[in-house]
Structure 1
Amino acid sequence: MSPPRIGEPPLRTHFDVFGLKRAYDVDVPALEKQYRELSLQLHPDRVAQASARERLQALEGTTALNEAFKTLKDPVRRAFYLLKLHGIDLDREDAGAQKDMPLAFLEEVMDLRESLDTAMAKKDLGRARAMADDVEARKKAALTEAAESLRTLEAGEPGDGGQEQVRKASHALGRVRYFTRFLEQVDAFEEEIQA
């Protein structure tokens, strides 16, 4: 996220939409309650007889609210979003953090993919599911690691200006991204086998 230019209003984050402090941990039931309340206030039907500008503002407000809610209620999306607020956008294909992943991990991912390809070629769903169970546990561990780094980063604890925490979070979320893709491939294989 680039800083606003002089004279521009500061950019609003998804946290700002809900008046929340920027943090990894979010009270999801409270967020859901606030979302319902704000949805009623911002709903475009409330301004159906208003000017085109007011209707457009209501629509834009509702769109921003929906996007903020979808991001903040999900711990994985929230983690990726927080990292993006720190200048690392892992959704971009050219994201530096993805290129910066440790070589040992990338080799491990290649081995996992080859093992999955072999299981798929043999139509061995049991082997693929066993691999998926292991990868799911590793994905959860990587998300936990990312969350800890993001908590430390958002708390502003002293150190190297947060660069080490950003690096740790980006590597952990990079692993989450790879593991998610692996699990999606196993799910697609399972659907294909059961079809």
Structure 2
Amino acid sequence: MKNHFELFALPHRYTLDRPALDARYRDLQRSVHPDRYASAGEQERRLSVQQAAHINDAYQTLIDPLRRARYLLELQGITMDEQGTHQDPEFLMRQMELREALAGVRGEADPLAALDRLAREIDEEYRALEAELATELDAGGDLARAVTLVQEMQFFTRLLNEAQELEADLEDQY
């Protein structure tokens, strides 16, 4: 079976040609759509459903930056745990600072504005990590560094999700 990049006729790179991916996805979905197999036998219909599921899973993996990065590393023989962390003291301190800042948002005079500033800061750090990761993975760089970057991106993703949950809570209160 083809890997996700081969399925969509894309190079094995972190940086994607999103329009090409989307166009190929639509073409593949059309080719296995159940309507095309309405008069086919049971086995062909089942195969079409399986192919559609595989196409959907591959597409979801490639459009998600973290899943795409983990998948590329997997293709290199490196399996990552979604909860994996690394023990860099500087990054651990940064995690604590950001968690404390998030916890302190409710005590601010304007919690929503404080949360917005913090979320922008978190997003900027995430994007910087993503840019560095693209460089490492696309250039065949340091895979150990790529693993570290993915672990850091996982932290920032979780933190952004927590910030969104807090924002929803704050909006309900104000």
Contact 1:76–1:143 at 8 Å: present in 2 too?
A: no
CA distance in structure 1 between the aligned counterparts of 2:168 and 2:48, rounded to whole angstroms? 41
Q: What's the secondary structure of 1:87's corresponding residue?
A: coil
CA distance in structure 1 between the aligned counterparts of 2:82 and 2:111, rounded to whole angstroms? 34
Query: Cα offset for 1:34?
Result: 1.6
More divergent stretch after superposition (141-150 vs 166-175): 166-175
In structure 2, what is the equivalent of residue 114 of structure 1?
100
In structure 1, what is the equivalent of residue 45 of structure 2?
55
2:88 aligned to 102, 106, 128, which one?
102
- Is 2:138 the counterpart of 1:148? no
- Is 2:147 the counterpart of 1:170? yes
RMSD over equivalenced CA pairs, Å: 2.1
Query: Cα offset for 1:24?
Result: 1.8
1:119-155 per-position Cα deviation (integer Å, ceiling 9, x unaligned)? 23557232222121111110000000111000122xx
Note closer, same or farther for the CA distance 1:72–1:92 as it changes in structure 2 (3 Å cut): closer
Q: Counterpart amino acid of 2:53?
A: T
1:148-172 per-position Cα deviation (integer Å, ceiling 9, x unaligned)? 000122xxxxxxxx6xx11111111
1:88-137 per-position Cα deviation (integer Å, ceiling 9, x unaligned)? 344443x4xx2x34122012202211221122355723222212111111
In structure 2, what is the equivalent of residue 6 of structure 1?
none
CA distance in structure 1 between the aligned counterparts of 2:170 and 2:82, rounded to whole angstroms? 32
CA distance in structure 2 between the aligned counterparts of 1:119 and 1:21, rounded to whole angstroms? 43
Q: How does 1:61-140 map to 2 (within 5 A)?
A: 61-93=51-83, 95=84, 98=85, 100-121=86-107, 124-140=111-127
Q: What's the secondary structure of 1:19's corresponding residue?
A: coil
Post-superposition, which runs of at least 4 consecutive aligned residues in structure 1 deviate over 3 A?
73-77, 87-93
Note closer, same or farther for the CA distance 1:121–1:91 as it changes in structure 2 (3 Å cut): farther
In structure 2, what is the equivalent of residue 19 of structure 1?
9
Query: Cα offset for 1:187?
Result: 1.2
Count of matched residue pairs:
171
Q: Counterpart amino acid of 1:152?
A: A
Please give the TM-score of this superposition, normalised by the length of structure 2.
Answer: 0.86
Contact 1:101–1:171 at 8 Å: present in 2 too?
A: no
CA distance in structure 2 between the aligned counterparts of 1:129 and 1:114, rounded to whole angstroms? 15
Q: How does 1:38-49 map to 2 (within 5 A)?
A: 38-49=28-39
CA distance in structure 1 between the aligned counterparts of 2:82 and 2:126, rounded to whole angstroms? 20
1:70-93 per-position Cα deviation (integer Å, ceiling 9, x unaligned)? 222344432232123223344443
Please give the TM-score of this superposition, normalised by the length of structure 1.
Answer: 0.78
Q: What's the secondary structure of 1:23's corresponding residue?
A: coil
Q: What's the secondary structure of 2:139's corresponding residue?
A: helix
CA distance in structure 2 between the aligned counterparts of 1:92 and 1:171, rounded to whole angstroms? 12
